Amino acid sequence: FKFKKAKSGILLIGDGMGFNHIEMALKDKIDHFYARDLPLSGKCTTFSESVKNGQAGYTDSAAAATALSTGIKTINGYIRELAQSRGAKTAVLTTDVITGATPAGFLAHDLSRKNTAALQKQIDALIKNGKIDYCKGSLGDNLAKEAGTALNIVSAGDEPFFVMLEEGYIHKRSHSNDADGVKDTVARYNITIAYVTQFVMLHPDTVLLITADHETGGIITDARGNYVF
């Protein structure tokens, strides 16, 4: 296998996932985290403009998605649209609702992540006007399967493509301090990583970025070495 000059990209986001979420799942749910097989890896911290100016002590999904989609830090709660340009095919898939902060950060723009009706109207218009090639939310356990469908569609021709796939429930289970739920959703994200990695092996002109947007739940190790909230 050899990488070629990249013309397309796939971004996988584990919403709310920190390094200890992975370790928690590895302890008794999954044998291996497939992203660790990739040749390049790194660590970073993320913080929104709200954290920088002292208005908040954390980064939310809306600000994180905006930074990931545009490269610009913003205030917590803001949403921006990813512009379809240069003829690239695009797809956005998520286990969350399609108007959730992360997918909306790649599809729409609004002053607040809470304006779901306005966000849905913009997303519907993108689909109706052919400005996005595949767009689906509330996928539950079917993210990997739908990823296959979306990738087959956007890679069918010679055009470049960009696909964002989100496992949104790592974040939600962490908010509830649901350890078993975190393990299950990290395992589900891991299956999607495995599938997409195989796809990239067959499409070596595709950049694959596997990441998270922020960490939720403050998972730490206790005196016995167990991962707890």
**Identity of the amino acid at 208:** L
46 contacts: CB under 8 Å, gap ≥ 6: 59, 64, 67, 213, 214
DSSP classification of residue 36:
G
Q: How many CB atoms lie within 10 A of CB 101?
A: 26
The stretches of the chain forming alpha helices (DSSP H) are 19-28, 49-52, 61-70, 101-104, 116-128, 143-154, 169-175, 179-202
Active site residue 69: no
Read off the tokens for 31: 């044998």
Q: Which one of 61, 69, 155, 174 is the catalytic residue?
A: 61
Give the three-state DSSP class for 214. Answer: coil
Measured between alpha carbons, how far is 171 from 194 in angstroms, rounded to an integer? 20
Cα distances from 37 to residues 26, 30, 90, in angstroms, run 15, 15, 26
Please answer whether residues 174 and 217 qualify as being in contact, where contact means their C-beta atoms are separated by less than 8 angstroms.
Answer: yes
The catalytic site residues sit at: 61
